[in-house]
Amino acid sequence: MLEARNGLLQFDAVIRLISLPGIRTIPEQIVECRDPYYAALDAADLAWGQNRIDVSKMEELLSSLLARQLIDVHSAATKN
């Protein structure tokens, strides 16, 4: 959970490290095309400057990158 308390951003979560298969991992995809990542960071920074928490652009980006990674896995698994 992400919330602001007394002007501080707090993130409470249980993080489990798991290994997902895939030819192009999320970090590798970000390196291949960095502009959307930097745009998502800029959007979050802009919201923070307006005393708001909005990481929706980063959520959208990571969702898309994860989908690509899993599509690659599926394609490789079903390739004849």
Give tens-digit pLDDT for 8-62: 555 555 555 566 777 788 999 999 999 999 999 999 999 999 999 999 999 999 9
User: Based on the number of CB atoms within 10 Å of its own CB, is 26 exposed (0-12), middle (13-18) or buried (19 or more)?
Assistant: middle
Compute the average pLDDT of residues 62-72: 92
What are the E-state strand segments in the chain?
A: 2-5, 8-11
Q: What is the pLDDT of residue 1?
A: 52
| pTM given for the model | 0.71
Q: H or E segment at 27?
A: helix 26-32
